[in-house]
A = this chain, B = another copy of it.
Amino acid sequence: MTPADAYAALLDHARRVSALEQTEGLLAWDQETMMPPRGAAQRAEQMGALAAVLHAMRTDPRQEDWLATAEGLDDPAPDVRADLREIRRELTRAARLPDGLAEALARERSASHQLWAEARSTRDFAPFAPALARVLALRREEAQAVAEPGQTAYDALLDRYEPGARAAELEPVFARLREGLTELLDRIRGSSARIPKISGAFPETAQMALAHELAGDCGYDFAAGRLDRAVHPFSSGSGLDVRITTRVDPADPTECIFATMHETGHALYEQGIARELHGRPAGGHASMGVHESQSRFWENHVGRSAAFAPFLRDRMKIAFGSLGVRSPEALFAAVNAVTPGYIRTAADEAQYDLHILMRFDLERALLSGDLPVEDLEVAWADRFEADFGRRPPHASLGCLQDVHWSEGLIGYFPTYTLGNLNAAALAEALRRDLPDLDATLGRGDLEAPLDWLRDRIHRHGRVSTAEDLMTGACGGPVDEKPLLAHLEAKFGAIYDL
């Protein structure tokens, strides 16, 4: 077999895996949007059967031979090199995983998830703690098994979501970010500015119609996707079938608007990946931190910006009539109001990353064993008090609020903050290239920023590493400065700081 034949065989296999992963994605999408309630047990069996097939295909031993031969390709193009790099990465990881660990994790995650949901509803952390400890022990075992030489256990997990990232390199950036955020939050708390509130009638059909309009305004291609409702908004799919969901709160239209723009951001990334990369290992996203940068860009740097407010206010007035906010400036302030709260997913831009940074620290301590699971509830409350100035009244507003740890998802949280850091850095670079950006945003003309992102980020898939991609787009490594400058400008204007 020639290297070219071996590469073709690898790619054919990868495309089949990708097609079945897309199928898995469709089962999940359908479950959250269309599936009748009594279909749940069958759906679990469908998911299980497909997962078993995918596991067998991903561990197909022929791949190792193909890959070894294909790695002899003479001077492969960057996209081919990326295919080989990603396949090597997956095979190495799979080969290091102890037998039976994946099954044990799947079992414990499922049990732990169940106990977490019960614990959250009863606001009682204790019954969940032993299950969390078991999941953590398995993840620790996984991390130690798959770690590269010199890689910490935490980094081995983080690498799954943010290839190449190291906690030690994130730490100083995150520390400076935390310092800047707590300082900003202090000033906001001391401000006497009065923030307007949106009020009016927001029928569900009008909200969904507006959501469709806004997604279209951002450049979302409805011929290659669709928009539906879901309890927890998400985007899914890839290539030319990328679907988004949003939620509707009849009392508050901003939920629907910003969830839509957030998921549209994710979807625009997927829709923008170059056609020739579809279904290939090189055709994935560069990292979760890059993916999240796209959702945060459209949600926060477009949707919640002062520049976009005139256009958004016009759209909202057409959809709902009276809004109770008298000017674009008032709308801008209303959608960026900073309010006390305990829940990460409901947090404003000034507080959101403080939530993440505490999770980053706590989950590293949990994984290393420095923080025993039974001490988590108190450790959480202590840290929350240090950063936010108050303690959660119970565990469901504290360490039980997120689903992630219950499923053993360790190393995922920092990608949210990386998303915010990347989004701010991209917005800053974009503004340098398009000096009249604010004027175009005010008209709802979003083609220029989309074109810029398509060119700098989307089309490349994961041909480059996340770091190279971001450095190339922004003209240098990403740090905390653009995000802090963005927040300073936004909240300075709103709170007269």
Interface residues of A (CB under 8 A from B): 15-16, 19-20, 22-23, 26-27, 30, 34-39, 41-43, 45-46, 48-50, 52-53, 221-226, 237, 239-241, 243, 278-279
In-complex Cβ contact of A42 among B16, B49, B223, B239 (8 A): B239
In-complex Cβ contact of A19 among B35, B42, B222 (8 A): B42
Chain B CB within 10 A, most for which of A37, A41, A46, A239: A46
State whether B279 touches A35 (Cβ < 8 A).
Answer: no
Task: Knowing A36-B222, A36-B224 are in contact, say whether A45-B15 is a contact too (CB < 8 A).
Answer: yes
| Identical copies in the complex | 2
A35: B residues at CB distance < 8 A = 241
State whether B27 touches A45 (Cβ < 8 A).
Answer: no
A27: B residues at CB distance < 8 A = 23, 26
State whether B225 touches A36 (Cβ < 8 A).
Answer: yes
Compute how far the CA of A163 lies from the CA of B34 in the bound complex, rounded to whole angstroms.
34
In whole Å, how far is A469's beta carbon from the nearest beta carbon of chain B?
25
In-complex Cβ contact of A38 among B49, B53, B241 (8 A): B241
A237: B residues at CB distance < 8 A = 39
Task: Knowing A26-B30, A27-B23, A53-B53 are in contact, say whether A223-B36 is a contact too (CB < 8 A).
Answer: yes
Does more than half of chain A's interface fall in helix, strand or loop, or is it mixed? helix
State whether B16 touches A240 (Cβ < 8 A).
Answer: no
Pairs A–B under 8 Å by Cβ, sample size 16: A19-B48, A20-B46, A23-B23, A23-B27, A34-B34, A34-B226, A36-B243, A37-B223, A38-B221, A38-B223, A38-B240, A38-B241, A39-B239, A42-B239, A42-B241, A42-B279
Task: Knowing A16-B52, A30-B30, A52-B16 are in contact, say whether A23-B46 is a contact too (CB < 8 A).
Answer: yes
State whether A38 touches B279 (Cβ < 8 A).
Answer: no
Give me 16 other A-B pairs in contact (C-beta within 8 A), A23-B49, A30-B30 excluded.
A15-B45, A16-B49, A19-B42, A19-B46, A20-B49, A20-B53, A23-B46, A23-B50, A34-B34, A35-B241, A36-B222, A36-B224, A36-B226, A39-B239, A42-B239, A42-B279
Compute how far the CA of A35 lies from the CA of B279 in the bound complex, rounded to whole angstroms.
18
State whether A19 touches B223 (Cβ < 8 A).
Answer: no
A222: B residues at CB distance < 8 A = 36
Compute how far the CA of A53 lies from the CA of B53 in the bound complex, rounded to whole angstroms.
8
A23: B residues at CB distance < 8 A = 23, 27, 46, 49-50
A20: B residues at CB distance < 8 A = 46, 49-50, 53
A19: B residues at CB distance < 8 A = 42, 45-46, 48-50
Task: Knowing A23-B49, A45-B19, A46-B19 are in contact, say whether A36-B241 is a contact too (CB < 8 A).
Answer: yes
A36: B residues at CB distance < 8 A = 222-226, 240-241, 243
In whole Å, how far is A275's beta carbon from the nearest beta carbon of chain B?
10
A225: B residues at CB distance < 8 A = 36
**Nearest B residue to A243, CB-CB:** B36
A46: B residues at CB distance < 8 A = 19-20, 22-23, 26
**Nearest B residue to A279, CB-CB:** B45
In whole Å, how far is A36's beta carbon from the nearest beta carbon of chain B?
5
A278: B residues at CB distance < 8 A = 42
Compute how far the CA of A22 lies from the CA of B41 in the bound complex, rounded to whole angstroms.
13
**Nearest B residue to A24, CB-CB:** B23
A52: B residues at CB distance < 8 A = 16
A45: B residues at CB distance < 8 A = 15, 19, 279
In whole Å, how far is A286's beta carbon from the nearest beta carbon of chain B?
21
Compute how far the CA of A383 lies from the CA of B243 in the bound complex, rounded to whole angstroms.
50
Compute how far the CA of A226 lies from the CA of B222 in the bound complex, rounded to whole angstroms.
23
State whether B49 touches A240 (Cβ < 8 A).
Answer: no
**Nearest B residue to A226, CB-CB:** B36
In whole Å, how far is A2's beta carbon from the nearest beta carbon of chain B?
25
Compute how far the CA of A36 lies from the CA of B16 in the bound complex, rounded to whole angstroms.
21
Compute how far the CA of A20 lies from the CA of B223 in the bound complex, rounded to whole angstroms.
28
Compute how far the CA of A186 lies from the CA of B360 in the bound complex, rounded to whole angstroms.
83
